[in-house]
C-alpha cells in the first residue's frame, strides 16, 4: 500500500482537531483581533475598556481608569456594578470565571442586561485573557474583593474573596503574551486617541489614562478625557483648525424606532466633506445605512429650504445650475453616533452597517432637527445655502476642467500622460506605480525598475495643496491630473456624484510615493497623501497607497563590507560594530544620501524598489476623525498649531539639521 493510500485510509474522526475553550484564539489570534502586531496589541485594551463602556451605556458606570504599567501590562478599572460572581446555573462555576474563560460568554448577549453593547466581534475579555501570559481579575461587589488569576486563559484557582472594600466595579490587569505578539510595547498616542474618542461618544463619562513608564527625565504622564457636551464637543474638536462658516453646532439627540441617534453638524469655509459615523462606539469607516439616511435627510431638507426661500431660489436660477446632493456637503463636518441592539456589519473591513431599518430612522431624526434649525436661524440658513450654490458652481467648473483635459488626451492619442513610463503587464494585481519626485530620480527609477510590473511617473513642479483650494482648481493642476489619469481613477461616473472617486478601473495594486529622505520629501509625501485622503479615500481604505523608504546612508568598512542604513540608529550601530576594539576606525565611511537622484539605477532598485528587499510603509486610516483633524492642521492656514505639532514630533521624523 502506498503512503498516500495509507494516509487516506487513516483519515478518521481522530484527525479532526477540536480546539477546546480559548485554544482556538491562541491558535489563530489574527481571526479574533485583526493581527498580532501593534494593531492587535492595542485591540486588547479596547476590548477590555469596551466592557466598562457597556456598563456606562447601561447607566451604571461614570469613571474608567486605564493605566499602562512600567512592565507594559495594562490595568483597566471601572466603578460599574462589577462582573457577577455567583454560580452559573449551567456551568456550575462562578460567573466571573465563565466570562473570563469561555469565548462569547457575557452579559452583552443577554439583551436584558445590556440593550446595546460595544465591541465589533463580541469576543470580549476572554479573548484578552487567552492572549495574555498572565491576567488578574478583581471584582468589587457587596463589600468584598473577589479575585481570580489566569495564565494564557486558564484559571489558576477558583474565584476567592481576598479582602473587603467600599468600592464597586471591576479591575482587570493583563500582560500581553510575548510568544504571540510581535511587539508588547504600548504606544501612548494610540491608546489616548481611542480613550478621547470614547469620551466624546459617551458624554459625561470620565476616562483617566495614566502612563507609569518613566520617560528619559523620569516623568510619568496622565490625561483625563471628559466631554460634557459629547458629540458637540467632538465636532468642534475635529474642526478646531478650520474657519467656521456658522459658529453654531446643529445638534440632535433622540430615539426613533427604538434606535438612539445622536448627530452633531458644523459648516466651515473649506471645500471637503468630513462625515464620521459610529455604531455602538465603533468607527464605521465604510459608512452604511446610517450614513445613507443622514445624507438623504441633509439633501432633502436643505433643498426644500432653498426652493422655498425666494432670494436663494432666484440666485440658483440666475446661476443656471442644478444643485446635487454632494453640494450640500461641501465644508460640512458631522459626527453621527447610533446604538443598535443587533448590528449587521458588512464590507471589506466589517465596518459598514447593513441594518436597513436604520436609514429611515436617521433620515427622520436629522430631517426634523435640521428643519427646525433652519426655520429658527434664517441668517445662518442663508449663509449655508449660499455656500451650497458656490459649491455647485465650483463642481460644474471642475467638470468642465476635467472634460477639457480628457479631450486633450484623446486628441493627443491614448489616455495616459506622456511622462508616464508604464509597465508591460496589464494585470492590475501584479502592477505597481512609483510617484517619483523630480526628473533626476525619475530617470534612475525608470532605468532600474522591473519593466514588466513597475511603472514610474515623475512629478515635476510644485504639488498642489488641495486643502487650500476649491475643487475646480484641483483639476486644473497638471501634476494632479497626471496622477489621476495614470492610476485610472474616474470622477463624475454615472450614478455617482462628481466628487465620488471610482477606483474600479485602478490600473495598479500598489501606488507608491517615492521622495527624498529629508524634510522636503516628507512635505511632498504629505501633499500627495492629502490629495488621496480628500479626493480618493477609497484608494487608502482598500490598502493601495504606500510610501517607499529610501536609505539615509550607505556605510562601508575597508571597502569590503557595505550596508545601507535606513535610520540614524542603524548607522550608529554599524560604526560601533566595526570600530569596536580597533585602533584605526578611519576605513569606516558613511555616505549621506541627500536625495534619490544621488543613487544610480542599480542602487535605487536594490534599496528602494526591489520587492524582495525594500521597506514599504502602507498608508492606512485607523481613525478617520483623527486623520481629518491632523490633515486640516498640517495643510491649513493656521500656523501656530502646525508649529506646535512639528516641535512635539520633530524627534520622531527624519528632519535634517
Rounded Cα distance between 390 and 76, Å, is 50
- Digit-coded pLDDT (tens) for 126-180: 999 999 999 999 999 999 999 999 999 999 999 999 999 999 999 999 999 999 9
**35 catalytic residue (yes or no):** no
* CA-to-CA separations, 247 to 51, 264, 478, in angstroms, rounded: 36, 13, 36
| Sign for the pseudo-dihedral over CA of 445, 446, 447, 449 | positive
Concatenated DSSP letters for 142-153? Answer: TTEEEEEEEETT
The larger pLDDT score, comparing residue 223 to residue 489, is at 223
Please answer whether residues 29 and 36 qualify as being in contact, where contact means their C-beta atoms are separated by less than 8 angstroms: yes
Q: Which of 306, 267, 284, 293 is nearest to 365 (CA)?
A: 293
What grid cell was written down for 524? 511632498
Q: Which of 149, 500, 509, 520 is catalytic?
A: 520
* pLDDT at residue 92, rounded to an integer: 82
Rg for the chain, CA atoms, rounded = 28
% of residues, the chain, pLDDT over 90: 48
pLDDT (tens digit, 9 = 90+) per residue, 65-99?
Answer: 999 999 999 999 999 999 999 888 887 889 899 88
106: left (phi over 0), alpha (psi -120 to 50) or beta: left
Does residue 437 have an active-site annotation? yes
pLDDT band at 656 (very low <50, low <70, confident <90, very high): very low
- pLDDT score, position 6: 44
Residues near 102 by Cβ (< 8 Å), separated by ≥ 6? 21, 91, 126
pLDDT of res. 506: 94
For the segment 339-362, what is each residue's pLDDT rounded down to a tens digit? 998 888 886 566 789 999 999 999
Give me the phi and psi of 559, to 5 degrees please.
Answer: 55, 15
Which tens digits make up the pLDDT trace of 498-516? 777 889 989 999 999 999 8
Reduced to 3 states, what is the DSSP secondary structure of residue 630?
helix
Whether the per-residue pLDDT at 1 is higher than 50: the answer is no
Q: What is the DSSP string of 170-198?
A: EEEEEEE-TTT-S--PPPHHHHHHHHHHH
Neighbours of 6 (CB within 10 A): 10
pLDDT 10s digits, 420-461:
999 999 999 999 999 998 778 888 899 999 999 999 999 877
- Active-site residue (options: 78, 437, 628, 629): 437
% of the chain with per-residue pLDDT over 70 = 87
Alpha-helical regions (H) of 202-274: 231-238
pLDDT score for 349:
60
Q: Which of 3-12, 100-109, 375-384 has the highest mean pLDDT?
A: 375-384
Give the pairing type, strands 510-514 and 545-548.
parallel
As a whole number, the mean pLDDT across the chain is 85
- Contact, 83 vs 170, CB < 8 A? yes
Which position among 286, 516, 525, 628 bears the catalytic label? 516
| 149, 151, 357, 518: the active-site residue | 518
The Cα–Cα gap between 6 and 172 comes to 50
CA distance 499 to 492: 7
- Whole-number pLDDT of residue 408: 54
In this prediction, residues 316-330 reach a mean pLDDT of 86
- If phi > 0 it is left, if psi is from -120 to 50 it is alpha, else beta; for residue 331 that is left
pLDDT at position 375, please? 93
Phi, psi of 354 (to 5 degrees): -115, -5
Distance in angstroms (rounded) separating the CA atoms of residues 488 and 477: 17
For 324, the grid coordinates are 446635487
Confidence of residue 49 (pLDDT cuts 50, 70, 90): very high
> Do 376 and 312 contact (CB within 8 A), yes or no?
no
Based on the residue annotation, tell me whether 518 is a catalytic residue of this protein: yes
d(CA 365, CA 363): 6
117: DSSP letter? -
- Rounded to a whole number, what is the distance in angstroms from the first to the last CA of the chain? 73
Q: Any idea which residue has 444643485 for its cell? A: 323
Instruction: Say how far residue 182 (Cα) sits from the centre of its chain.
Output: 21
Q: Using an 8 Å Cβ cutoff, are 380 and 372 in contact?
A: no
Residue 41 has, within 13 A of its CA and on its CB side, a CA count of: 22
Per-residue DSSP letter, 246:
S
Which pLDDT score, from 0 to 100, does residue 122 have? 47
Average pLDDT over residues 190-200: 95
Q: How many CA atoms lie within 13 A of 640 on its CB side?
A: 3
For cell 440593550, what's the residue?
115
pLDDT at 364 exceeding the cut of 90: yes
Judged against a pLDDT cut of 70, whether residue 414 lies above it is answered with no
Compute the distance between CA of residue 532 and CA of residue 501 in angstroms, rounded to an integer: 10
User: What's the pLDDT score for residue 114?
Assistant: 56
Task: Supply the DSSP symbol for 609.
Answer: I
CA-wise closest residue to 194 among 642, 632, 618, 625: 625
Q: ∠587-589-593 over CA atoms, to 5°? A: 165
Residue 387 has pLDDT above 60, yes or no: yes
Q: What is the pLDDT of residue 300?
A: 94
520 part of the active site = yes
Q: What is the 3-state secondary structure (H, E, C) of 615-629?
A: CEEECCCCCHHHHHH
CB 628 within 8 A of CB 285: no
Amino acid at each position: 500500500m502506498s503512503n498516500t493510500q495509507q494516509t487516506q485510509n487513516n483519515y478518521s474522526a481522530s484527525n479532526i482537531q477540536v480546539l477546546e475553550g480559548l485554544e482556538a484564539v491562541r491558535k489563530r489570534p489574527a481571526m479574533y483581533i485583526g493581527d498580532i502586531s501593534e494593531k492587535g496589541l492595542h485591540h486588547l485594551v479596547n476590548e477590555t475598556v469596551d466592557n466598562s463602556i457597556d456598563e456606562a451605556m447601561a447607566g451604571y458606570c461614570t469613571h474608567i481608569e486605564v493605566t499602562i504599567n512600567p512592565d507594559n501590562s495594562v490595568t483597566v478599572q471601572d466603578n460599574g456594578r462589577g462582573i457577577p460572581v455567583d454560580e452559573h446555573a449551567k456551568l456550575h462555576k462562578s460567573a466571573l470565571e465563565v466570562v473570563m474563560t469561555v469565548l462569547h460568554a457575557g452579559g452583552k448577549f443577554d439583551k436584558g442586561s445590556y440593550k446595546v453593547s460595544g465591541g465589533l466581534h463580541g469576543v470580549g475579555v476572554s479573548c484578552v485573557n487567552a492572549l495574555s501570559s498572565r491576567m488578574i481579575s478583581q471584582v468589587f461587589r457587596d463589600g468584598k474583593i473577589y479575585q481570580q488569576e489566569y495564565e494564557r486563559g486558564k484559571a489558576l484557582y477558583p474565584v476567592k474573596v481576598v479582602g473587603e472594600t467600599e468600592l464597586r466595579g471591576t479591575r482587570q490587569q493583563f500582560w500581553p503574551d510575548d510568544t504571540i505578539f510581535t511587539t508588547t510595547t504600548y504606544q501612548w498616542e494610540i491608546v489616548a486617541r481611542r480613550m478621547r474618542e470614547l469620551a466624546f461618544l459617551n458624554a459625561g463619562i470620565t476616562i483617566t489614562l495614566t502612563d507609569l513608564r518613566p520617560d528619559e527625565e523620569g516623568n510619568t504622564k496622565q490625561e483625563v478625557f471628559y466631554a460634557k457636551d459629547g458629540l458637540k464637543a467632538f465636532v468642534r474638536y475635529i474642526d478646531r483648525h478650520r474657519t467656521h462658516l456658522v459658529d453654531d453646532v446643529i445638534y440632535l439627540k433622540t430615539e426613533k424606532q427604538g434606535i438612539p441617534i445622536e448627530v452633531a453638524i458644523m459648516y466651515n469655509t473649506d471645500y471637503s466633506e468630513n462625515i464620521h459615523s459610529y455604531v455602538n462606539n465603533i468607527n464605521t469607516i465604510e459608512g452604511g445605512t446610517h450614513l445613507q439616511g443622514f445624507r438623504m435627510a441633509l439633501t432633502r431638507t436643505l433643498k426644500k429650504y432653498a426652493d422655498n426661500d425666494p432670494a436663494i431660489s432666484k440666485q440658483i436660477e440666475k446661476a443656471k445650475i442644478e444643485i446635487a446632493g454632494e453640494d450640500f456637503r461641501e465644508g460640512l463636518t458631522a459626527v453621527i453616533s447610533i446604538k443598535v441592539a443587533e448590528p449587521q456589519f458588512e464590507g471589506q473591513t466589517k465596518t459598514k452597517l447593513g441594518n436597513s431599518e436604520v436609514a429611515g430612522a436617521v433620515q427622520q431624526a436629522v430631517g426634523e432637527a435640521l428643519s427646525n434649525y433652519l426655520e429658527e436661524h434664517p441668517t445662518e440658513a442663508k449663509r449655508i445655502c449660499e455656500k451650497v450654490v458656490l459649491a455647485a458652481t465650483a463642481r460644474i467648473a471642475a467638470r468642465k476642467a476635467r472634460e477639457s483635459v480628457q479631450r486633450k488626451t484623446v486628441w493627443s492619442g491614448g489616455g495616459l500622460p506622456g511622462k508616464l513610463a508604464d509597465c508591460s503587464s496589464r494585470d492590475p494585481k501584479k502592477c505597481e506605480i512609483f510617484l517619483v519626485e523630480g526628473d533626476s530620480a525619475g530617470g534612475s527609477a525608470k532605468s532600474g525598475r522591473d519593466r514588466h510590473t513597475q511603472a514610474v511617473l515623475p512629478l515635476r513642479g510644485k504639488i498642489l495643496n488641495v486643502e487650500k483650494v476649491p475643487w475646480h482648481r484641483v483639476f486644473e493642476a497638471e501634476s494632479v491630473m497626471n496622477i489621476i489619469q495614470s492610476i485610472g481613477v474616474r470622477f463624475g461616473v454615472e450614478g455617482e456624484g462628481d466628487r465620488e472617486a471610482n477606483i474600479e478601473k485602478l490600473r495598479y495594486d500598489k501606488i507608491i510615493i517615492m521622495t527624498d529622505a529629508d524634510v522636503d520629501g516628507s512635505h511632498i509625501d504629505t501633499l500627495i497623501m492629502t490629495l488621496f485622503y480628500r479626493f480618493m479615500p477609497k484608494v487608502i481604505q482598500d490598502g493601495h497607497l504606500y510610501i517607499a523608504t529610501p536609505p539615509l546612508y550607505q556605510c562601508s568598512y575597508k571597502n569590503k563590507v557595505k550596508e545601507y542604513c535606513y535610520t540614524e540608529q542603524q548607522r550608529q550601530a554599524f560604526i560601533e560594530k566595526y570600530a569596536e576594539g580597533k585602533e584605526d576606525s578611519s576605513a569606516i565611511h558613511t555616505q549621506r544620501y541627500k536625495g534619490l537622484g544621488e543613487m544610480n539605477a542599480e542602487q535605487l532598485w536594490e534599496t528602494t524598489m526591489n520587492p524582495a528587499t525594500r521597506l514599504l510603509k502602507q498608508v492606512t486610516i485607523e481613525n478617520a476623525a483623527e486623520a481629518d483633524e491632523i490633515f486640516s492642521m498640517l495643510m491649513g492656514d493656521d500656523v501656530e498649531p502646525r508649529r506646535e505639532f512639528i516641535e512635539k514630533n520633530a524627534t520622531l521624523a527624519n528632519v535634517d539639521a
